[in-house]
Structure 1
Amino acid sequence: MSTHLAILPLDIIDTLTARLNQENRHPSYATQFLRLPHPRTGLASLFLHDQHAQGDTTKTSSILEVQAISPTNARTWFIGEEVVADGKLVVMTPMDPMFLLMYLLRAPQTRDGSKGNFRPMQDIIEEVAATIADASKKDAQKDPSLNVSADDIISFLSLDFVQSSIKRVCDVKVITDEITVYRYSHDVVLENLKRKVGRLSEPRVAEMSRTLLLESGRIKLACELLSQYLPRDILQDLIASYDLSKLDAHVKTRAKPAKSVAAGNKNQKRKKDTEATANADVDTSGDGDKKKKGAKSSHGVEKLKKANVAGMSKLSTFFTKKAA
C-alpha cells in the first residue's frame, strides 16, 4: 500500500485520530472518494465526501477537493522509520457543494437561452449523470483518469447536505406535499455568488490581502477568489453585474503616467545617443586637428627623431625582390 503525506482540515484529523485510537472501526465515520468534473475546467477531479459525528446525534458532512502538489525537483519524505519516495503533498480543502451543483445541473441545459422545464429532482439527476458520463468517455479514451462515472455523480447528488444546497442553484416549485419540481436558474446562481462576493469583500476579509482596498477593488478581489471554481461565462456575468467602471478608469489613469515617463526617458536617451554620434563624426570647430597637432610625443619617439640615420637602408628595401 502506497503512503502519501496529506494536509487535512483539523476536525477531520481529530475524527481520524479518534477512530485510529479505537480497536474497532468507528461506526459514525464514513469517507468516499468521488471523481467529478471540476466546476471551472470541467475536467475530472478527485473529491472526498467526509461524514463524521458531532456529539451523540449530530452528523456533519462536507466535500473536500483533493489536490496533489508535485515538487519541481525530486523530493523524499521521511516519516518515522519509513522513507516515502513519492515527494508529492496531498492537500484536501473543504469546498462549497454549490460550485459542483452549479456545473452539474446546468450540463443538460440548452445553450439557446431558454430556461427549460421544471422537473422532479430524480429525473434531473439521472439526465445529468447520463449526459456527463457520456461526454467523459471521449476524454477517457485518451486518459482513463479523466473518466467520470454516472455512479459517482448520482452518489454526490443524492447526499443529504447536497440536496439541501440545490435551492441555491435552482428555481423551486412545490406542487403538492409530495411533489417538488426544480429548474436550473442562472439568476439564482448569480444572486448567491453575489452574496459570497459580499462576504469576501468585507474589509476584515479583504484587508488580509495586500491589494487595492477600495470598495470596488474589494469586489474585484472577491470575484477573482471565486474564479477558481467558476466557468468563464458565469465569471464574466458575475463581474458584469457590478459597476467597476470607476476602478477600471482609475487603473488606466495610473498606467498612463508610467507609460509616458518610460517613453520620455527612452526618447531622451535616443536623442543623447544621436548627438554623441554626430559630434564624434563631425568636428566643425577644427579643435580635433589642433589636438592632433599639439599632441606631445613620448620620450622614446623624440630620441629616435634625433638619431643619426646616415648610411642606413630604408625599411622599404627589405620588402623588394632581389635581382636575379
Structure 2
Amino acid sequence: MATKKKRSPSTGTDTWVVISADSAISTSKKDSRDPVIVRLKNPSTGLVSLYMFAGGDTRVFEMKAFKEDHHSWFIGQTVHRDGRLLYVTPVDPLYLVLPYLIKAEKEGKFQPVQQMVMDEDFPACTRLLNCLGEHASLAHIAEEKEVGNQKFHRYSQEKTMEWLKKKVDKTVKVLKNSNISVGGGVKSTTYIRVKKESDVSDEEYLRYAHGLISEYLSEDLSRDLLKHLQLPDVSSPKKVEPPNKKRKLSDKPVEAAEDYTQFNGRDFARKPPKKLTAVQKSLAKVDRTGMKTMSCFFSPKPKTEGK
C-alpha cells in the first residue's frame, strides 16, 4: 500500500526574504565580517527598531517591512509562515546620532563624542561612531573644538537646520527628476496623478520632501525644520504627509520585540468579500425584465374617488 508523502514542517522566523542594496552584503579584503543586525533607538519615535551594520561597522542600514495578511513563503521544500518582505536600505548615521547630541547639549558644554553617544538600553549605538566618516561628519550638526589631539563637540541647532535643508532640497530635486507626483495632485488611495506636473507648486514639493525627511526626526525637530523652510504650519496632515499608497508599501521600521522582527500590520486588515449562496447565484442569472417585486403585491391599493 502506497504511503502518503509527508509535507515538510513549516519553520518559524529563522529565515527571512530580504531585498537589500549590494553595499549591505558586500565585503572587502580588509574586512570580511558578515553584516550584523542590532537594536537601536529609532530617532523619530524613540522606540526600539532593527538596523544592520556592514562593512566593518562603516555603513548602517535601516530595516523596513512590507506585510499583508495571510502571506507566507515557499522556500525549497519548506513553508515559512513569516510572509513579510524586508527591505534593507542605507541610512545616514547622523540621523541616529542626533538624539544623543541634542540630549547632551542640555549640559551646555563641549564633550567627546564617545561620551555623548552612549546608551545603556542600546549599547550597540557606539557602533555608529565608526560610520562617522567624511560624508557623515559631525561638523554638519555640531560645533567642534580641538584641544591637543582630542576633539570636542557640541550640538548646533543652526548647523543642523542648514544640513536638513540641504537634505530637503536634494529630495525635491530627486522627486522632480523622477517625475513623482506629490501634494494635492495625487489621490492617496490610488496614487494617480490628477494634476499636470506644471500645476504642482514648489511648496507642495517642499512639504512632501519635509514629510519624508521627518520620518527620521523627532516631532520637535520636524517642527523646527518646517519653520526653517519658511513653510506655514497646516492643520491637515494629508497636506504634509506622503500619499497613503506609498506609506502602505514601506514606511515603518521593523520594530524589535520578542520575535525580533515585529511589524505593525493594522493598516493592512481587510474584510473578506461576502460569498453568494448557490440560490443567490442562480437568481442573479434570471432575466427580470417586466417582473414586479414582491412588495408590489402587498402595497395598499390607491383609493378611488366616489361619483
Structure 1 length normalisation: TM-score? 0.57
The aligned residue for residue 53 of structure 2 is 49
Does structure 2 conserve the Cα–Cα contact (< 8 Å) formed by 1:217 and 1:247? no
Instruction: Give the alignment of 1:1-324 within 5 angstroms.
Output: 2-12=14-24, 15=26, 28-51=32-55, 61-71=58-68, 73-110=69-106, 116-125=108-117, 129=118, 132-133=119-120, 148-150=121-123, 152-161=124-133, 164-176=136-148, 178-202=149-173, 204-205=176-177, 207-211=179-183, 213-245=200-232, 294=305
> SS at the partner of 1:78?
strand
Does structure 1 conserve the Cα–Cα contact (< 8 Å) formed by 2:43 and 2:218? yes
**In 1, Cα distance between equivalents of 2:42 and 2:122:** 14
Tell me, which stretches of 5 or more residues in structure 1 are unaligned? 20-24, 53-59, 134-147, 253-290, 297-324
Q: Look up the equivalent residue of 2:180 and give its one-letter code.
A: M
Cα distance, 1:100 vs structure 2: 0.3
> SS at the partner of 2:209?
helix
**In 1, Cα distance between equivalents of 2:79 and 2:225:** 47
- How big is each residue's C-alpha offset from its partner over 1:51-85, in whole Å with a ceiling of 9 and x where there is no partner? 17xxxxxxx932111234443x2222112323212
Tell me, which stretches of 5 or more residues in structure 2 are unaligned? 1-12, 185-199, 240-301
- How big is each residue's C-alpha offset from its partner over 1:126-154, in whole Å with a ceiling of 9 and x where there is no partner? xxx2xx42xxxxxxxxxxxxxx333x122
Q: Measured at CA, do residues 210 and 185 of structure 1 come closer, stay the same or move farther in structure 2, by a change above 3 Å?
A: closer
More helix by share: 1
**In 1, Cα distance between equivalents of 2:105 and 2:233:** 35
Does structure 2 conserve the Cα–Cα contact (< 8 Å) formed by 1:5 and 1:89? yes
Q: Measured at CA, do residues 215 and 206 of structure 1 come closer, stay the same or move farther in structure 2, by a change above 3 Å?
A: farther
> SS at the partner of 1:196?
helix
> SS at the partner of 2:40?
strand
**In 2, Cα distance between equivalents of 1:207 and 1:119:** 44
**In 2, Cα distance between equivalents of 1:93 and 1:233:** 25
Q: Measured at CA, do residues 292 and 84 of structure 1 come closer, stay the same or move farther in structure 2, by a change above 3 Å?
A: closer
**In 1, Cα distance between equivalents of 2:306 and 2:230:** 74
Q: Measured at CA, do residues 236 and 160 of structure 1 come closer, stay the same or move farther in structure 2, by a change above 3 Å?
A: closer
**In 2, Cα distance between equivalents of 1:4 and 1:94:** 19
The aligned residue for residue 286 of structure 2 is none
**In 2, Cα distance between equivalents of 1:207 and 1:27:** 39
Aligned residues: percent identity? 26
- How big is each residue's C-alpha offset from its partner over 1:214-251, in whole Å with a ceiling of 9 and x where there is no partner? 11221111101111111000000100112335999xx9
Cα distance, 1:26 vs structure 2: 9.6
Give the number of the structure whose alpha-carbon radius of gyration is greater. Answer: 1
Structural RMSD (CA): 3.5
Does structure 1 conserve the Cα–Cα contact (< 8 Å) formed by 2:60 and 2:131? no
**In 1, Cα distance between equivalents of 2:74 and 2:220:** 45
Cα distance, 1:45 vs structure 2: 1.1
Does structure 2 conserve the Cα–Cα contact (< 8 Å) formed by 1:32 and 1:49? yes
Cα distance, 1:123 vs structure 2: 2.9
**In 1, Cα distance between equivalents of 2:113 and 2:136:** 12
Structure 2 length normalisation: TM-score? 0.60
Q: Measured at CA, do residues 50 and 215 of structure 1 come closer, stay the same or move farther in structure 2, by a change above 3 Å?
A: same
